[in-house]
Amino acid sequence: MKLNLFVAWTGYMLALVSIVSLAGFLYAAGSGNGGWALVAGIVCVLAVASAIAMIGSTVHHDHRLHRETPHLF
């Protein structure tokens, strides 16, 4: 259960990081700062990929051990 709770909260925080970095990407791209747009875009993609990988692997692990799917609430 501790792993499920950790992954749920970490996935939630990574989703928030991706939203903030997406906003930074859009602002940087709109203002003409290509370097910062690239950095913010990479952070956004990495945050989304990490969240999906963590939650997906935990769900797979729990199904393999016949446990309940992780949920936050």
What is the CA 34 to chain-centroid distance, rounded? 23
pLDDT score of 72: 60
Q: How far apart are CA 61 and CA 67, in angstroms?
A: 9
The domain limits of the chain are 2-64
Q: How far apart are CA 67 and CA 19, in angstroms?
A: 31
Condensed to tens digits (0 to 9), the pLDDT of residues 3-52 reads 888 888 999 999 999 999 999 999 999 999 999 999 999 999 999 999 99
Q: How far apart are CA 56 and CA 63, in angstroms?
A: 11
What is the CB-side half-sphere exposure of residue 30 using CA atoms within 13 A? 6
- Tracing tokens 């906003």 back to the chain, one arrives at 23
Q: The pTM is what?
A: 0.84
**3-state SS, residue 11:** helix
Is residue 1's pLDDT more than 70?
no
